[in-house]
Amino acid sequence: MSHGRIQITEVLKQSQLLSSFSDPELSQLAVRTVRRQFTAGEMLFSEGDPCKGLHIIARGKVRIFKTSAGGREQVLAVEGPGATVAELPVFDGGPYPASVVAVDDTEVAFISQRDLRDYCLEHPEVALKMLAVVGARLRRLVGIIEELSFTTIRQRLVALLVRLAETEGQASDLGITVQLPGSHQELANQLGTVRELVSRNLTRLQAEGLIEFSARQILIKDHKMLAAALQ
């Protein structure tokens, strides 16, 4: 039992939300926290479900998305270890505003809505930190809206490749190699389009000599030239 508490405390400490808390404060929250495990493809919760509590990603990745009436999916974010999910409905009493699915085998630290509210009454600074996290997520959602409204599929795809090159790329004499964060269909969901347009634009970028691609692996031959394509 004590071994479990130590692990949960470490998860809480590594989260963006609680990283500045003292060990005694984290220990108080750890006893109110449980571990939950999800296999790849398993739903943590669906849009419209009653909110039960806060999820902190300990291991793996999750995809946050909304689904249109016609079944089309729009990815809002892909989150990994340290991220929190569903901060807003914990406090406003509403349902989950989006769906969340495990991308990989995933483990989360779960704090029930009631326990988290009680903890926030004891530690009001937690609520302020959550407000900052919610604010950052809102800014990101506004950015998604701007991209979908004012940019082309090509621009969104190029912007994603440039970001991947800068954050996860592996440099070599041939250029920078990146891995796409999913299949072409999953990429289309993230970019707000359909799979055929993603494949077509990747083919065009390759014909222009900017990239070479094979399945999910992309070789960016000239990062500066690719970034210039955004202008």
Sequential pLDDT tens for the chain (231 residues): 333 444 888 899 888 778 778 888 888 889 999 999 999 999 999 999 999 999 999 999 999 998 877 777 888 888 899 998 888 888 888 899 899 999 999 999 999 999 988 888 888 887 787 777 777 777 777 777 777 776 788 888 888 898 888 888 898 888 899 988 777 887 887 787 888 888 898 999 989 999 998 878 899 988 888 888 877
Is the CB of residue 194 less than 8 Å from the CB of residue 71? no
CATH of 151-228 among 1.10.3720.10, 3.40.630.30, 1.10.10.410, 1.10.10.10: 1.10.10.10
- According to DSSP, the residues that pair with 175 across neighbouring strands are 172
Check: CB of residue 213 under 8 Å from CB of residue 162: no
Of 166, 169, 178, 168, which is closest to residue 213 (Cα–Cα)? Answer: 178
Q: Which residues of 109-131 are buried (b: 16+ CB within 10 A; e: fewer)?
A: bbbbbebbeebbeebeebeebbe
Quote the CA–CA distance of 77 and 64 in Å, as a whole number.
5
Can you give the residue ranges of every domain in the chain?
2-149, 151-228
Round to whole Å and give the CA distance between 206 and 204.
Answer: 5
CA-based nearest residue to 200, from 168, 162, 152: 152
From the options 2.60.120.10, 3.40.50.11810, 3.40.50.360, 1.10.3720.10, give the CATH code of 2-149.
2.60.120.10
Q: How far apart are CA 159 and CA 146, in angstroms?
A: 13
